[in-house]
A = this chain, B = another copy of it.
Amino acid sequence: MLPKTFLDTMKHSMQAQQAEFLQQGKPVFSGPAALEHFAGWWKDREKPGHIVLLCDTNTASFCLPRLMKALPADVRISEIVIPQGEKSKSIATCQQVWEQLTRLGIGRKDVLISLGGGVVTDLGGFAASTYLRGISFVHVPTTLMAMADAALGGKNGIDFGGAKNRVGLFAFAECTVCDPVFLETLPAQEWRSGSAEVFKHALIADADLWKILEEQGCTASSLPDLLHRIQRVKIDVVHRDPYERGVRKILNFGHSIGHALESESLEKDRVPFTHGEAIGRGMMIETEIGLRLAKMSAEESAMVCRVLEQHFGKADLRHYSAEALMKWIRLDKKNDGARVRMSLLTGIGRCDWDVEVKEQLILEVLMDFGAAA
């Protein structure tokens, strides 16, 4: 990096004043004024020659018009639209994005804005940070899941060979804009899907937040107050360990089993689980594993499972084979060689990481949830 001038520092602090959070020094605008702050943010920045908006077929209709008002005038703006859904998080779609960036003549000083849920922000961040060895990108998450989780923390990438997020890298958005206005058009299923990450953040690091969720649930009326609190958990953990050498792994609670379930369902089911439905079930099953390893009391784990079941339905694995799920679990990025390692609760609001879990125990628990032997 070239040395910062005094002016850069000034600008930076102006942005920082409006931002609810900073990630690696980069602003996260969050809350009902986020789009307005974003509109102002451009004034302190060198104007790009060209802005590319990456949308999916949903956000292109419902969200794009609102975003347009927050973009600078006199800049060329182009759109790339990808099909809605998890299947777009692929190397094939990524290649189409690289091709279109090339065709549009996007250069190193241009900016890509991802407008969408986790699929769009994960893919957009990856495509942008590998095109021309990296151009600047901005995340504008439009789902609860992306605002609470996917669009924060600098992880981006694609699924590969069926495995979730197999290919990707760490790169932080130059700016992240979380405006609840986009949640107004969010379908109920997407809402529930996103709330899984909300419950997860409470469970791993904020017992008081868990109490609130237990009483009020995660609804449109309670969310505006809760959003900052949820985001704070994620941003604090990422700040302590941005490249996931240690404590950041607690953010993966529920994901060792949840990702396996999501991958298997995506391959097998006509209507696959959403990310949140899979993670909700993953959290219940991993809570049970934690109980059997005496990481957590029977009372607390029963309470966690009861509340999660109310929100996400029963973790019923009758249509799945334990060995098929195990095959995906073995691919988990947190594993160490042949040893499966999970992040497991040690209480409500507390989580341990790098816990070795024997395959035999995992298989037993999966079968107790109904998976075929």
Residues of A within 8 A of B (CB): 1-2, 49-50, 91, 95, 98-99, 102, 105, 107-109, 129-134, 155, 157, 160-161, 163, 165-170, 241-246, 330-331, 333, 335-338
Contacts and interface: CB of A to CB of B under 8 A. Distances in A.
A80 to B, nearest CB: 15
A269 to B, nearest CB: 23
B330 A166 contact: no
B336 A133 contact: no
B336 A107 contact: yes
B167 A131 contact: yes
Given A102-B331, A107-B336, A130 B169 contact: yes
Nearest to A154: B133
Contacts of A337: 49-50, 105, 107, 109
A251 to B, nearest CB: 13
Nearest to A160: B98
Given A2-B241, A49-B336, A107-B335, 7 more contacts: A1-B245, A50-B337, A91-B91, A98-B160, A102-B161, A102-B163, A109-B336
A161 B91 contact: no
Residue from A132, A163, A246 whose CB has the most chain B CB atoms within 10 Å: A132
Contacts of A91: 91, 95
B105 A167 contact: no
23 contacts: A1-B242, A1-B245, A2-B246, A91-B91, A95-B160, A98-B166, A99-B161, A107-B335, A107-B337, A108-B336, A109-B337, A130-B130, A130-B157, A130-B168, A130-B169, A132-B166, A133-B157, A133-B169, A133-B244, A133-B333, A134-B169, A134-B170, A169-B169
Contacts of A167: 98, 130-131
A133 B98 contact: no
Contacts of A49: 336-337
Contacts of A335: 107
A253 to B, nearest CB: 18
A156 to B, nearest CB: 8
Contacts of A169: 129-130, 133-134, 169
Contacts of A130: 130, 157, 167-169
A166 B102 CA distance: 9
B98 A161 contact: yes
A115 to B, nearest CB: 22
A46 to B, nearest CB: 12
A161 B103 CA distance: 10
A133 B155 contact: yes
A60 B229 CA distance: 54
Contact of A133 (B161, B170, B246, B330): B170
Contacts of A133: 155, 157, 165, 168-170, 244, 333
Nearest to A132: B333
A276 B188 CA distance: 59
Residue from A161, A165, A244 whose CB has the most chain B CB atoms within 10 Å: A161
The 5 closest A-B pairs by CB, nearest first: A49-B337, A133-B168, A132-B333, A130-B167, A133-B169
Contacts of A241: 2
A134 B171 CA distance: 11
Given A167-B131, A168-B133, A241-B2, A108 B161 contact: no
